[in-house]
Homo-oligomer: A and B are copies of this chain.
Amino acid sequence: MQSTSIPRMLGSTPTPLANAQSPASTRFSLLCSTALRLGEWSARVDTGNTTVVVDDAQAMAPCVNFVTGNANKLREVKAILEPAIEVRSNPLDLDEVQGSIEEVTQSKCRRAADLVNGPVLVEDTSLCFNALSGLPGPYIKWFLSGIGHQGLNNLLAAYTDKSAEAVCTFGYSAGPGHEPILFQGRCSGKIVPPRGPSHFGWDPIFEYEGQTYAEMDGAQKNGISHRARALKKLQEWFRDHAEGPAAAPQ
């Protein structure tokens, strides 16, 4: 299911991007349509036809439009990125394509950038059963809504291998025409009969080191989860690429 054609994929190493791209193209593009409040930063801002150098502590914070209708995800992303990066939510309803995890996120990110006409952040969550070659993977939401927790367990009835990977992939694009950059976090666990509160997706059937996600408190889960790991990479990249005057990548 994995695409090998993703040139800017963030894998298991924290910040491979710096070596994978030219300096000019790796810089965080501050494409907000409003002015910037940069604190200690200064930055070059591509506003479409004009490039403006912002070097003013009174400017607005750089911002990104996080395309989600999910309040929990928005809260998690805000907690990690703000106040350095202002996170605005945009509940655009975007189709998702079929394909590898990376293709799904890349496609969503490109379409979001086109529609928002500015910098966007999108997220995709997959649940990959190892006995099923990584499936349901990016189709997990259809399987969860169609067959529920017990049905997901049943998919593995023929196998002793109940192992699975939870995968979170963020995609960031500086705007239309800018290639998405992916930030992926993975957490290895196994599929079990549901335990714990069932208010959040497949959390009750994904067990990591003896506890299901649903049985963990927020701090525990955020210490090890696929989403926390992806957000850490995202945070590091934003920190590394939003410093100093930045050329808008193209």
Interface residues of A (CB under 8 A from B): 1, 95-99, 107, 132-139, 142-143, 146-147, 151, 154-155, 157-159
Contacts and interface: CB of A to CB of B under 8 A. Distances in A.
Contacts of A137: 142
A141 to B, nearest CB: 8
Given A97-B95, A99-B95, A146 B158 contact: no
Given A133-B151, A135-B143, 4 more contacts: A97-B97, A98-B138, A98-B142, A132-B147
5 contacts: A95-B98, A98-B98, A98-B139, A132-B143, A136-B139
Give the copy number.
2
A191 to B, nearest CB: 13
Nearest to A146: B133
Contact of A98 (B96, B134, B157): B96
Most chain B Cβ neighbours within 10 Å, of A1, A96, A107, A133: A133
Contact of A1 (B95, B96, B146, B155): B146
A95 B106 CA distance: 12
A159 B154 CA distance: 8
Contact of A158 (B133, B134, B154): B154
Contacts of A155: 155
A235 B107 CA distance: 35
A151 B107 CA distance: 29
Contact of A135 (B95, B107, B132, B147): B147
A146 B157 contact: no
A137 B98 CA distance: 13
A3 to B, nearest CB: 13
A96 B155 CA distance: 24
A147 B133 contact: yes
Contact of A157 (B95, B99, B133, B158): B158
Contacts of A143: 132, 135
Contacts of A107: 95
A159 to B, nearest CB: 7
